[in-house]
Amino acid sequence: MPGKRPLVLVLAGHDPCGGAGIQADVEAIAAQGAHAMPIITALTVQDHERVYSVHPVAGDIVLVQLRTLLQAYRFDAVKLGIIGSRVLAETLAKELAQLRYEQPDLPVVLDPVLGSGYGDALSKDDAVLTLQTLLQQATLITPNLPELARLSGTSATDWQAQLATWMPTHAADVLLKGGHGTDRLVHNYWIQRGGRLAREWQWERLAGEFHGSGCTLAAAIAAQLALGQSLENALDQAQVYTQRSLQHAFAVGAGQRIPQRTFIDFE
């Protein structure tokens, strides 16, 4: 069909400052050349620094939106962000299980956002428990180092031991993000399902802090997969794009900056 773009189903929360969440996903997906179809799962009260409260959207509203889209369109990828409640997560997991049964090769990218950069809660229930059913439907999970530590539920302090405990509980690949490390370089690791380290990337650690970098990366990966890229190429291209968006980040106030996602060519 002339002019047709790959479609990415997005289930994530709304950030009224526009730095993260649904807006970040839509911008990053569009920048890759795909089209986002977003369903808001939670409304938040937040600015670019702090989250003050989270209000999950009623499950029946989310479900009727989702089923309407599934009847009308065939999606090329799915991107999951914050869901807001355990009940809603379990409902969506059932719908995704059916969708993946119908489309076994459908990429499902889950960004396991467990809290804001300051540790503010992003679910009305325990965030780790909220994600459990959705983790089983993901084909790629993109935790950062603090998120992996919480997801693993172990007392181990090194990420290799945490991964060894956590990865057997699901069947997804993992992109472990090192943005919360302290080295001069940011180390990101692609670990394939089964635990094999497939590739490492090293990126310049940029000064300052950013709001919405994880959403940007996960959404860009989903879009690249929707475009038909292999997982390795999708991970590579999405990281290049995200690094550039961080290099050109802008300020909306004092503190964290927002990635510049809306232009493919930053030169």
Residue pair 257/24 in contact by the 8 Å Cβ criterion = no
* Domains recognised in the chain with CATH numbers: 7-247 (3.40.1190.20)
Find all residues with CB under 8 Å of 189, minimum gap 6, and list them: 174, 175, 176, 178, 197, 199, 200, 201
Q: pLDDT tens string for the chain (267 positions)?
A: 667 899 999 999 999 999 999 999 999 999 999 999 999 999 999 998 888 888 999 999 999 999 999 999 999 999 999 998 899 999 999 999 999 999 999 999 999 987 655 554 555 557 788 888 999 999 999 999 988 988 988 877 888 899 888 988 888 999 999 866 677 898 999 999 988 999 999 999 898 899 999 999 999 999 999 999 999 999 999 999 999 999 999 999 998 999 999 875 555
CA separation for the pair 38, 134 (Å, rounded): 17
Find all residues with CB under 8 Å of 3, minimum gap 6, and list them: none
Rounded to two decimals, the pTM is: 0.94
Q: Give the residue from 82, 238, 92, 53 showing the smallest Cα distance to 147.
A: 82
Tell me how crowded residue 65 is: count the other CB atoms within 10 A of its CB. 17
Strand ranges for the chain from DSSP E: 7-14, 35-46, 51-56, 77-80, 108-110, 140-141, 173-176, 185-191, 197-204
